[in-house]
Structure 1
């Protein structure tokens, strides 16, 4: 099969980055053949920068052009499901930017369209390419950590000044983005949280502060407590209003603890499982023997280019997708549940009541200063 012909829907910051990657020749078996953008000025720039690529005024014109085998959707959050569904209905493969969408209910329709089309579907969860998180997932899946008892992620190094939010009237509004730090900055961590552990929470109690540190509508500080089906618990803390920030991910099992921080992975490994030790021990204040294992540098992460190459390989030779698009609903359901819990000031069970979330979100969109 010849090169996969990619079309790019949306050429803002992320879209332009994908265009540069594809036109640089960095992705084996891939070529950028068409792009589209809603901005007339942007289209002029695109024609000047990529003279060999066809530039379209609308998404529909690109999808109907016959010039592409697959599309990358890099439009605003609300449009991801709509644009992906339109592509699937034309028999095209789809790779979407994160997040999968704004609400799990709308994303579910996209997943159903993907299944009905028989096309390949991926999401730009580039952090799944990071060797650190791949190793965490491997150690948990292999049983080295034992049964998970607790997770804890503090991700507060998303600092954003007011000038960032003032750079676009759509930024940090319910109508423009559909959420704040949970939807804009943290989708990767929310995905990795469930991807590395293989666990989705069974219920969530979240406390979201809306416009606490900045003049914005949406959440800029979140503390959430979760419970898992096996009895484990977890905490997720994030903000865009704190500096210097922290990025520390801990997973504790009955055979030790994993910590990812400052680009390094450390594993405290118990000689025997904690329940086994506790059952036989008769010495007050004793504890299981442990080893501290500091993993060497696990190598660079190929990031977005890695996802693009993996998706291209899937289309050309059936390689398994590292980030299937259908899995975008998982992290999004967690963030939706956090929002719903904060809005209603109560526990929220998972699977999510998608209709309840949609109703609450729409109330905020209707009064958002980002409307129109």
Structure 2
């Protein structure tokens, strides 16, 4: 499911190569070892540490295991690329950051959306001042394949994910923070399990249905063979107050007929909105008025072309990671930003399960913040 990062990092003869696989599933080990042409395929990641010749590791396991695996690698001096989210609790994230700091081992977090064409285009528009100073950032996330992607395996179990605001939202929250220039300081949320809670489930230890990511069921109420544990919300709405005064909102639904996300940024002098995130799609800006709605906008920008998965984001972050472990220096992705997006999502999840009670996001140790802002230089 997360092979795209490893595939982007596999460049034989061009600087870096996947040389080893660790996975609990023997079929996966065999398949991936053949894919990457390696005979090193082990069951436990700790077996890799015995080799002593790894330059780095990509942690692309289920979310609840990120913390333990990443910390094992960091303590062994192996730089770690942690797929998003960094963890499923604030405490897990802080432990990973502290371990990287204490060991001096380089840590990178795979927030590939920062490297997608549409996000960088929106950031450039804001930086140029086309919409003035950002004051509100909204995201609507329509997860059209939600029943298939997130309710037929471990994602549906809150003990593995905490909630889907931790699985899906951290990428978007991270981007909202980036576009707005601040971090969430206070959050509340509402949500529920409205559709998938009462649909037929598989027995424990039963494999997922054949073709589960190729044959999609419609309508959502026609879904069958869901995971035996389904206790995460399939719709959620969270509100954020950022530390620089910007107000943000994120909405997520897993039973829509279409799959896309919509960003809106409103500033002191205009508004921007993305209409798709594929190459050739547009970001529109309205910065004259007042008027009724105008579909043509004042300015339209085309999302630039990109090669590779996730709008070119996977190839860009793996290239940045490999450059970082070799040379160090600043990176566009940020372990601190990754922690802050998880913190917002984790506290929003707690809030929606407590009737919308607001929570303040705990601050991160200033010494850790300074360390990562320096590019992980002591």
In the superposition, the TM-score normalised over structure 1's length comes to: 0.78
Question: In structure 1, how many angstroms separate the alpha carbons of the residues matched to 2:241 and 2:151?
Answer: 37
The gaps in structure 1 that reach 5 residues or longer are: 1-12, 275-284, 286-290, 355-372
- Answering whether residue 307 of structure 2 is matched by residue 318 of structure 1, we say no
The Cα offsets for residues 128-147 of structure 1, whole Å up to 9 and x where unpaired, read as: 11122112223334544333
**1:157 paired residue among 121, 126, 143:** 143
More moved, 101-110 vs 111-120: 111-120
What does residue 118 of structure 1 align with?
A: 104
Question: In structure 1, how many angstroms separate the alpha carbons of the residues matched to 2:184 and 2:247?
Answer: 8
Query: CA, structure 1 residues 83+150, in 2 after alignment: closer, same or farther (shift >3 Å)?
Result: same
Q: Is 1:121–1:326's contact at 8 Å kept on the other side of the alignment?
A: no
**2:71 paired residue among 76, 85, 88:** 85
What does residue 329 of structure 1 align with?
A: 339
- Answering whether residue 186 of structure 2 is matched by residue 203 of structure 1, we say yes
Question: In structure 1, how many angstroms separate the alpha carbons of the residues matched to 2:247 and 2:335?
Answer: 27
The Cα offsets for residues 25-48 of structure 1, whole Å up to 9 and x where unpaired, read as: 49x421212221112232233444
What SS is found at the alignment partner of 2:31? helix
Superposed displacement of residue 326, structure 1: 3.5
Question: In structure 1, how many angstroms separate the alpha carbons of the residues matched to 2:79 and 2:234?
Answer: 35
Please, what is the CA RMSD of the aligned residues? 2.8
**2:158 paired residue among 174, 191, 201:** 174
Question: In structure 1, how many angstroms separate the alpha carbons of the residues matched to 2:40 and 2:118?
Answer: 39
Task: Name the structure, 1 or 2, with higher relative contact order (CA <8 Å, separation 6+).
Answer: 2
Question: In structure 1, how many angstroms separate the alpha carbons of the residues matched to 2:161 and 2:243?
Answer: 31
What does residue 252 of structure 1 align with?
A: 266
Q: Is 1:207–1:342's contact at 8 Å kept on the other side of the alignment?
A: yes
- Answering whether residue 232 of structure 2 is matched by residue 218 of structure 1, we say yes
Question: In structure 2, how many angstroms separate the alpha carbons of the residues matched to 1:296 and 1:48?
Answer: 39
What SS is found at the alignment partner of 1:31? coil
Question: In structure 2, how many angstroms separate the alpha carbons of the residues matched to 1:343 and 1:302?
Answer: 36
May I ask how many residue pairs the two structures share in their alignment?
322
In the superposition, the TM-score normalised over structure 2's length comes to: 0.77
**1:192 paired residue among 168, 171, 175:** 175
Q: Is 2:111–2:333's contact at 8 Å kept on the other side of the alignment?
A: yes
Q: Is 1:267–1:294's contact at 8 Å kept on the other side of the alignment?
A: yes
What SS is found at the alignment partner of 1:146? coil
Superposed displacement of residue 100, structure 1: 0.8
What does residue 285 of structure 2 align with?
A: 267
Query: CA, structure 1 residues 245+214, in 2 after alignment: closer, same or farther (shift >3 Å)?
Result: farther
The Cα offsets for residues 235-263 of structure 1, whole Å up to 9 and x where unpaired, read as: 22111012135522111111111111223
Query: CA, structure 1 residues 114+211, in 2 after alignment: closer, same or farther (shift >3 Å)?
Result: farther
What does residue 305 of structure 1 align with?
A: 315
What SS is found at the alignment partner of 1:302? helix
What SS is found at the alignment partner of 1:32? coil
Q: Which has the larger radius of gyration?
A: 1
Question: In structure 1, how many angstroms separate the alpha carbons of the residues matched to 2:170 and 2:243?
Answer: 22
Q: Is 2:121–2:303's contact at 8 Å kept on the other side of the alignment?
A: no
What does residue 339 of structure 1 align with?
A: 349
**2:27 paired residue among 8, 24, 41:** 41
The Cα offsets for residues 220-249 of structure 1, whole Å up to 9 and x where unpaired, read as: 101122333454433221110121355221
Question: In structure 1, how many angstroms separate the alpha carbons of the residues matched to 2:12 and 2:236?
Answer: 41
Superposed displacement of residue 23, structure 1: 3.5
Superposed displacement of residue 295, structure 1: 1.0
